[in-house]
Amino acid sequence: MKTYFYNILALILLHTSAFGQAPNWQVNESQYQYTMSFAAFLNVNGTTLSSTNDKVGAFVNGELRGSANLLYVSSTDRYLAYFLVFANTINETIDFKIYDSVNNQIVNATTTINFQIDKHYGNVFQAFGIANTTLSNQANILDFSFDGAGDVNKTITSNKVTIDSNVFISQNIIDLNAIFQLSPGATLYDGTQKIVSGSNTFNFTNSKILKVLSQDETILKEWTVEVVIVDRDSDGYNSDIDCDDSNATINPGATEILNNGLDDDCNPLTLDVLAGITNETGTTILNCSTTAVSVTATGGVIYSWYDGLSELGTEANFLITEPGNYTVTVTNSSGFSDTASITITENTSFVLAYTANTGGIIIGTTPQTVRCYESGSSVEAIPNTGYVFIDWSDGLTTNPRTDTNIDKDISVTANFDVALDVSEFGITKFKIYPNPVDNVLKIITVNNGTIGGYEIFDALGRRVLFDLKNNTNAIDVSTLYNGVYLIKIKTDKRELTARFIKI
């Protein structure tokens, strides 16, 4: 049974990897007179180990000759094993085992080296690699570009990368984020600073010397990376200002050609599409007769109308029925967009203004604002004492007046005239006006006065005009001579008198 157990153990140890406890690798140093030393990193299946529980053992023909655990090296932020290898004979072949504590396994490294007295391998930057699968010794830059630079022209030789500048690079040349691809497992350094692809800032005003360290850290190779300005398409504009240095028809001196999908003049502000708006209605003002404005967007194939809040339409033609600012985004078949705008105003509200001439006031709201075909509210022209309302300046005599069915502004003035009160027991029964009078003397009845006729006498008491039957309110006095006259207005019971002047 015991023999069987040892046979199984031997079988396990012969395999490339074995599971078990952390090995107790102790060398009897006093048996050996020579040493060599290592600063080594450990790599299992492509992963560099990083636990201080991991350890390496050096063996000659299965005999342990040196061992160490990994130590953290803060100066380079990595884990290395520092150890001596002991021997009495030079050129013995040393091989290695790695204890991987995370997976709790011992693996045989493919790394071997011949013993040399007092020889040292490895330092904190370029350590000696001990791995179970052979690591790459290539230290090349395979590809190199800059974040946001697009598809740049570049030449990569054995130790130099030359990149044609373009507009993006020239604008950002002091702060470029390099994106690169290296040999498998290799690392890029700027001095001793490790550089991560896509997460760096470089100033490429001058060419830069960078270093590539191979995966096995045996090769540290210098590379020159430089950005150059050229005129590859020979259009007279160098790559740092030529937005397309592979097309001679495109450069900052070219004229923008619409709808060809190209930024011909290298100026994003002069768009490949030019939006326009045709106004078929011919006016930008809505009123009572023009209740809609028809417009059509031009310049592209896709349309989007906005009023600043939401999309209102996606056809080229658009019917505007409300005042406001309207913008259309026009996109051409190349995907370029431009916008055009039109402002529509409204003149569908009107002002009703009422004013009074000397001799009266206006009662009611003035001015009033009404919309198309609406009505205003009632206003009344009220004469002051000694005056009488004559008419409105537009000829209307309706008082109070209410303007209806409005389709234009109205501004009118109430006219008044001096009137003579004709009273009975202190109560005005009639007003006669104008006074003085030229042609027609008018009589207004108030307070239920009733005209039963009149007589007009001159200064000598002679009756010059009369009508004792008609209930008249307008007397033609044009035939009278100038002078002072007496009028007697008859009521149902008595007659009232007043003096007026004929001029």
Which residues sit at the interface with Ca ion, rule CB under 5 A?
Answer: 231, 233, 235, 237, 242, 244-245, 250-251, 257, 260, 262, 264, 272
**Which is it for the CA torsion 62, 68, 72, 76, positive or negative?**
negative
Beta carbon nearer to Ca ion, 217 or 263: 263
Rounded CA-CA distance 70/183 in Å is 26
Smallest separation (angstroms) from Ca ion to the CB of 219:
38
Q: How far is CA 8 from the centre of its chain?
A: 73
Q: Which two tokens stand for residue 331?
A: 């996109």
With 0-12 / 13-18 / 19 or more C-beta atoms within 10 angstroms meaning exposed / middle / buried, residue 454 is: buried
Residues 6+ apart with CB under 8 A from 139: 182, 183, 186, 212, 213, 214, 219, 220, 221
Beta carbon nearer to Ca ion, 216 or 235: 235
Rounded CA-CA distance 77/133 in Å is 23
Phi, psi of 478 (to 5 degrees): -65, -20
With 0-12 / 13-18 / 19 or more C-beta atoms within 10 angstroms meaning exposed / middle / buried, residue 98 is: buried
* HSE of 106, CA atoms in CB hemisphere, 13 A: 18
Whole-angstrom CA distances from 412 to 215, 352, 394 are: 99, 8, 6
Beta carbon nearer to Ca ion, 217 or 235: 235
Smallest separation (angstroms) from Ca ion to the CB of 276:
16
Beta carbon nearer to Ca ion, 231 or 467: 231
Smallest separation (angstroms) from Ca ion to the CB of 202:
24
Smallest separation (angstroms) from Ca ion to the CB of 170:
13
Beta carbon nearer to Ca ion, 23 or 252: 252
Rounded CA-CA distance 36/34 in Å is 7
Beta carbon nearer to Ca ion, 44 or 250: 250
Phi, psi of 142 (to 5 degrees): -95, -30
Smallest separation (angstroms) from Ca ion to the CB of 120:
55
Beta carbon nearer to Ca ion, 100 or 244: 244
Beta carbon nearer to Ca ion, 151 or 492: 151
440 contacts 417 by C-beta, under 8 angstroms: no
433 contacts 498 by C-beta, under 8 angstroms: no
Beta carbon nearer to Ca ion, 183 or 251: 251
Smallest separation (angstroms) from Ca ion to the CB of 143:
24
Residue 251's nearest CA partner among 474, 240, 261 is 240
Smallest separation (angstroms) from Ca ion to the CB of 283:
34
Smallest separation (angstroms) from Ca ion to the CB of 37:
58
Beta carbon nearer to Ca ion, 20 or 268: 268
Smallest separation (angstroms) from Ca ion to the CB of 231:
4
Phi, psi of 393 (to 5 degrees): -65, -15
Q: What is the DSSP string of 154-217?
A: EEE-SSEEEEE--HHHHHTTTSB-EEEEESTT-EEEETTEEEBTTB--B--SS-EEEEEE-TTS
Which pairing describes strands 63-73 and 105-114: parallel, antiparallel, or unpaired?
Answer: unpaired
Which pairing describes strands 483-490 and 474-476: parallel, antiparallel, or unpaired?
Answer: unpaired
Beta carbon nearer to Ca ion, 95 or 264: 264
Could you tell me the strand order of the sheet in which 427-433 lies?
Answer: 420-424, 427-433, 440-445, 474-476
Smallest separation (angstroms) from Ca ion to the CB of 297:
19
Smallest separation (angstroms) from Ca ion to the CB of 232:
6
Smallest separation (angstroms) from Ca ion to the CB of 263:
6
Omega before 367 cis (within 30°)? yes
Say which residue the tokens 């078929």 belong to: 280
The number of residues making up the chain comes to 503
Beta carbon nearer to Ca ion, 237 or 389: 237
